[in-house]
Amino acid sequence: MTSVISVPPSLDEHSFEQVFEQLALVPEGDKILVDARHARWASPYGLTALLCVAQSRADRMGFAVPEHADTVSYWSRTGFFRHAAELYDMHGTVPRARDAHESDVLLEITPITKSDDVHGVVGRIQQKAADILHGQLNLDTAITGAFGMTLSEACQNIVEHAGLGGWVAVQTYKYARRLGRRVVVIAVCDAGVGFRKSLESSPGHRRSDRWDDAMALEDAVLRAVSRFRHGDKGRGQGLAGIRRFVGRWDGKLSVRSGAARIAITPDWDEDVPMTEGLPFFPGAQMQVTIPERLGEAPVRARSAGASRARPRGTL
């Protein structure tokens, strides 16, 4: 017998919990078909997490592709089917792979397995990021460097902690339901060991009665604890930097790992800070959302390479 996992019509960080819930009920070893026939829309988180679903079990799953032509076309432009075909047994018509050239696909779905991949995504994103972040989202040009830094640190977490490759995608889209503005979203997902097991591997880790996925997320996201911190206090700054970045640009950070999810939320979002008791899913799934800036476009800052003002005495 094959268990069918129904993909909801709209797939984002919240609705994806329906997929995790269904998946958690299927015993290991059972056949699974992920049925996306009725899917109409998916965020970068939804698409990258779908790839992680395929990696989360030893047995190869089936995947029923969306029926709606626009959905198939868009998912194809994100690079989804190219990667899905390597992980799933595909059912349905999959278009030939095309380059992701649409303006809202800032970075098509890209596998991250080693440090070189991080250099690749950062290098590629910089070619488009400045125009899209400033031109479409009305953000100050100063965001471009910080955006690349955030992308780099998020992807490095996969290389250093996941123990299994992961995926990254960056897109812009109109976030109509919650915000009514355009947003740029970074999704970084893996099906690796997750935050709890990563921190447990540290020589300095002291397990307490309260130790669980939620506490591991608090340690990593809020307290900058890293499994490498033992003997190297320079570690753990990546997530702290990401947190500062979303705070500075009125953005949102959410990280799901194991059975818990933590969210750093701005005023425009009503997400809860911590959710526990979620259906277990391996690895870590992170989303960074930066909204369009309202009001007049900021004065274009000096380009990268320009120095900050240094008014103090000259020698």
Interface positions with other proteins (CB under 8 A): 115-116, 118-119, 122-123, 126, 142, 144-146, 148-149, 152-153, 156, 159-160, 233-235, 237-238, 240-241, 244, 301-302, 304-308, 310, 312-315
CB of 288 to other proteins, least distance (A): 15
d(CA 206, CA 10): 41
Facing residues of 252 across strands? 289
Nearest approach in angstroms of CB 100 to other proteins is 21
Q: Which of 44, 52, 106, 126 is nearest to 284 (CA)?
A: 52
Token readout for 230 is: 């033992």
Q: Which is nearer to other proteins, 6 or 113 (CB)?
A: 113
CA 265/CA 46 separation, integer angstroms: 19
Q: Which is nearer to other proteins, 151 or 169 (CB)?
A: 151
Q: How far is the CB of 268 from other proteins (least distance, A)?
A: 24
Which is closer to other proteins, CB of 85 or CB of 122? Answer: 122
Helix (H) or strand (E) holding 77: helix 69-77
Q: 294 or 315: whose CB is closer to other proteins?
A: 315
User: What is the SS3 assignment for 183?
Assistant: strand
As measured in angstroms, the least distance from the Cβ of 172 to other proteins is: 20
C-alpha 226/C-alpha 201 separation (Å) is 10
Beta bridge partners of 170: 107, 186
Q: What's the distance, CA 146 to chain centroid?
A: 16
| Alpha-carbon gap, residue 295 to 7, rounded angstroms | 38
Q: CB 20 → other proteins: shortest distance, Å?
A: 30
Q: Which residues are registered as beta bridge partners of 287?
A: 187, 254
Considering the complex, state which of residue 210 and residue 310 has its C-beta at the smaller distance from other proteins.
310
31 or 230: CB nearest other proteins: 230
Measured in degrees and rounded to the nearest 5, phi and psi for residue 56 equal -85, -10
